[in-house]
Amino acid sequence: MIAPAPDPISSLLTLINGAARTLQAVYMNGSDYVPSLDDTEPHPLDGKLSAPDMKEAVQVLEGACAQLCATLARPNHTVLNKFFLTALEPNCLRLALMCKIPDILQEKPSGMHVSEISKRCGVEPSKLARILRLLSAKHCFREVERDIFANNRLSVQLLASNPLYSLGLHMTGDTTAGASKLAETLTDPEWGPSSVPVHSAWNKFTGQPMAMFDFWAQNPEMHEHGERFGIGMLGWGTTVEAATIVTAYPWTDLGPGATVCDLGGGVGAMAIELARAYPRLQLKLQDLPDRMVQAETIVWPAECPEAIAENRIEFKAIDFFVEPPIAGCDVYYLKNILHAFSTSNCLIILKGIRKSMKPGSRVLIHEYILQTADSRDEPADRQLKKAPAPLLANYGEGRIRQYHLDVSLMVLVNSQERTLDEYVKLGEEAGLKFMKVWEFGDMSGGGAVCK
C-alpha cells in the first residue's frame, strides 16, 4: 500500500477554492458579472486573450476537481463512467452537429419542444429527447422543462457559423471512427511498431492505402473533409489562444526590418497577426502552391492589404521535403507542423531550414510540449511550469487536451506530440542548439539556433 500524502483532500479543496475565486475576480473585474451557464450571449471576456492567471486558474480548477472526484468516488464507479464517456458522448454530439440542433434552437431562445425539433431534423422525437437529455446533463444544452430544450453557453459554440462546428464534425467523425481501431492497430505485429503514416488507426478503419490528408486531396468527393478540417483549425487556434505568441514572444528584440518566415503557415493567419502588431517586420509566407494563391489573391487583400501595399509580405510556394525555405531569415517559425510528421520527416524539414539559416538565425517551434506526470526533476533550462501539489506535475485533467491531441495524431496520421527532451534531440540531430522555451499557458514556443 502506498502511504497517502498528508491530507490531500484539504489541499485539493484549497486549490479548488482559490482557483474558483481567482476566476470569479477576473470576470468581475472585466464586466461586473460572472456568466451563467444559461447565457447564450458572449461574455465580454470571451473574445479576448486570457490573462496568464486566468489560464493557470482554469487548469488548476479542472485538474483538482477531477483528482478530487477520482480520489473520493469508488474506483469502479469512476471507471464505468469513463467507459460511457468515451463510447457515447462524442456520438451524441455528432448527431447534434449533423442535425444543426443549436441553429434550430436559436429560433426559440426560451426553449423548443422536442417534437418540433424532430420535425426540423428528421430524428424520431423520443430518441432525440434522450440524446439531448444526456448532453444537457453534461451542461451542453439546457432542458427547460420536460422535453423542452434550449441552447446555453456551451451549445452556442456549436452553431454552424462557429469554426468549432467544423472541428466537432471532424473530431466526432474521422477521429472517433479511427480511434475505434486504435487497439487493433497497436497490437498488429506489422502496423503497431511502424511510424509509416499509412499504418494509422484511421487507415485500419477505412481500409484506405493512402494517408488521410493525401486521400482527401486526391479524391474530389472527399474535398469537403479537407475544407472542414481547415475551418476547424481556425476554431482550434482561437480556442487554444495560439495568438498569445504575438505578445508573449519578444518580437521587438529582433529590431526593425527583421525577417520572419512563417513556414507551412497556410494562408498566413498568424503572419497576419504579426503584420498588424509589428509593422517593421518583413514577413515571408511559405506553404503549398494552392495555399499561396489563396493567401496572395484572397486572404491578405481582404485581411491585411497594407502589408501588401508596403511590401512587408512575400508569398512563395514550397514543398519543404524537396527544397529549403527562403534563405537568410532571422526567424523560421513553425506552428503545428512538426507534430504532423514522423521523426525522419521532421529531420528533413529542420535540416532544410538549417541550410537556409544565417549566423544569428533561429527556429521558433510553436507546439504543445508534453510533460510527464512525474516531471519534477529536470534541468533548470528545460523546466516547464509544474502544477502545485498534490496535483500531478502536468496538471492532469487541467492540461488533458495536449494528450488527447497526441493520441489523435497517432490515430489519424501515425504522428505525435513530443516532450521537450524529444524536441531538443530532434534539433540536435538537425544541427540546431536549444536556446529557450516560452510557455504561453496552453501551447509553448521553443527557440533553437545553429550549432
Which is catalytic among the residues 199, 339, 366, 404?
339
Rounded distance, CA 363 to CA 432, Å?
Answer: 8
CA atoms within 13 A on the CB side of 199: 13
Contacts of 293 (CB under 8 A, 6+ apart): none
Q: Identify whether 199 is a catalytic site residue.
A: no
Strands (DSSP E) contained in 104-151 are 112-113, 142-145, 148-150
Beta bridge partners of 419: 370
Q: 353, 332 in Cβ contact below 8 A? A: yes
Q: Sheet of 148-150: strands edge to edge? A: 112-113, 148-150, 142-145
Say whether the peptide bond before residue 390 is cis (omega within 30 degrees of 0).
yes
Q: Which is it for strands 444-450 and 432-439: parallel, antiparallel or unpaired?
A: antiparallel
One-letter amino acid of 120: R
Taking every pair of Cα atoms in the chain, the longest distance, rounded to a whole number of angstroms, is 69
- Residue 233: CB atoms within 10 A of its CB come to 18
Burial class (CB in 10 A: 0-12, 13-18, 19+), 264: buried
C-alpha cell at position 293:
494563391
Q: Mind telling me the catalytic residues?
A: 339
